[in-house]
């Protein structure tokens, strides 16, 4: 165990990885950085920091980890839709009196005139799509796909990272394997290839997956956009730069 304070970054996003790398360099000798990821997908880069792969075992497990690893600061830089780990981070930091910051990228700001409808969740999205869609590009991941399977008049083209789970397979689903980022040309080609008439996606924000939104706008395809879950209370920034400034103040 070192004498310098230790920072745990909850990751799984590009911003989290950038923060980990920059913090490791910028605060070298002043801060020990641990980067943590759920481990469902392969890391997209080699890390200069210590890396922990796999869950903690809920909020209590995370609190135990914070104590046993002598973590003094936690930055939750997980995806805006990763609500379980964020709730666990909130609970664990509260119970261990650990400083916590949320780093969440801003949502996409859709230009005036964009055809989009906001949905509360997949169930709501399915109801909306049932009114007009025939060939839908789905980029919401593999969870909650069950909500779509009853819509047998609609063909769903579901983009997943890696192999689709067998449990998710349905007659009206076609899985497309793809790992972001995707260029605008790739997104336009996908829309053309499958004759897509609607896009179902989440309000993720960020640059790695924004081209599907731009492509849908270009082709005047309606977007059904699932709203973000409410964020946990507490200090919050939207950029790596602001997270680094916050860290500087804490040290
Ligand atoms: N949801 C999305 O759309 C999305 C998109 C891109 C990337 N991601 C990333 O993928 C990961 C999983 O997303 P999810 O929506 O399944 O999250 P989730 O529902 O909030 O988390 C499920 C469980 O996965 C473990 N976990 C999640 N993030 C972790 C991390 N950074 N380090 C260690 N364990 C973690 C935790 O297990 P324990 O309870 O055992 O600790 C958590 O309870 C997140 O790290 C997220 O940043 C998610």
**Domain range summary for the chain, segments of one domain joined by +:** 6-105+230-250, 116-226
* 6-105+230-250 belongs to CATH 3.40.50.720: yes
Separation between Cα atoms, residue 26 and residue 246, nearest integer Å: 13
How many percent of the chain have pLDDT more than 90?
A: 85
Q: What is the mean pLDDT of the chain?
A: 94
pLDDT on residue 144: 86
Ligand 1 binding pocket includes 24 (Cβ within 6 Å): no
* Residue whose CA is at the smallest distance from ligand 1 atom 2: 81
User: What pTM value is reported for the model?
Assistant: 0.93
- pLDDT recorded at residue 142: 87
Instruction: Please indicate whether residue 78, judged by its CB atom, sits closer than 6 Å to ligand 1.
Output: yes
CATH architecture group of domain 116-226: 3-Layer(aba) Sandwich (3.40)
pLDDT in tens, 196-212: 999 999 999 999 899 99
**Strands, sheet with 71-76, edge to edge from the N-terminal-most edge strand:** 50-53, 32-37, 6-10, 71-76, 99-103, 236-237
Domain 6-105+230-250 and domain 116-226, same fold? Reply is: yes
27-41, 62-76, 180-194, 197-211: lowest mean pLDDT where? 27-41
Distance between Cα 88 and ligand 1 center (Å): 10
**Per the omega criterion (within 30 degrees of 0), is the bond before 228 cis?**
no
CB of 49 closer than 6 angstroms to any ligand 1 atom:
no
| Averaged pLDDT, 119-135 | 97
Its sign, for the CA torsion 237, 241, 243, 248, is negative
């Amino acid at each position: 165990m070192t004498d310098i304070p230790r920072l745990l970054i909850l990751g799984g996003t590009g911003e989290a990885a950038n923060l980990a790398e920059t913090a490791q360099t910028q605060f070298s000798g002043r801060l020990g950085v641990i980067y943590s990821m759920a481990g469902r997908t392969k890391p997209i880069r080699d890390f200069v920091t210590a890396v922990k792969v796999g869950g903690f075992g809920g909020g209590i497990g995370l609190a135990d980890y914070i104590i046993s690893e002598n973590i003094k600061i936690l930055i939750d830089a997980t995806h805006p839709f990763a609500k379980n780990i964020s709730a666990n981070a909130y609970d664990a930091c509260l119970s261990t009196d650990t400083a916590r910051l949320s780093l969440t990228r801003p949502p996409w700001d859709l230009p005036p005139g964009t055809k989009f409808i906001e949905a509360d969740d997949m169930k709501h999205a399915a109801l909306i799509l049932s009114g007009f869609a025939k060939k839908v590009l789905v980029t919401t991941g593999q969870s909650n796909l069950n909500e779509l399977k009853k819509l047998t008049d609609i063909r769903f083209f579901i983009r997943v990272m890696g192999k689709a789970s067998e449990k998710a397979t349905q007659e009206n689903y076609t899985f497309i394997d793809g790992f972001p980022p995707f260029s605008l040309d790739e997104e336009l080609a996908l829309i053309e290839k499958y004759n897509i008439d609607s896009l179902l996606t989440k309000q993720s924000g960020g640059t790695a997956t924004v081209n599907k939104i731009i492509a849908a706008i270009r082709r005047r395809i309606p977007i059904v956009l699932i709203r973000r879950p409410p964020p946990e209370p507490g200090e919050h920034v939207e950029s790596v730069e602001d997270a680094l400034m916050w860290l500087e103040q804490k040290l």
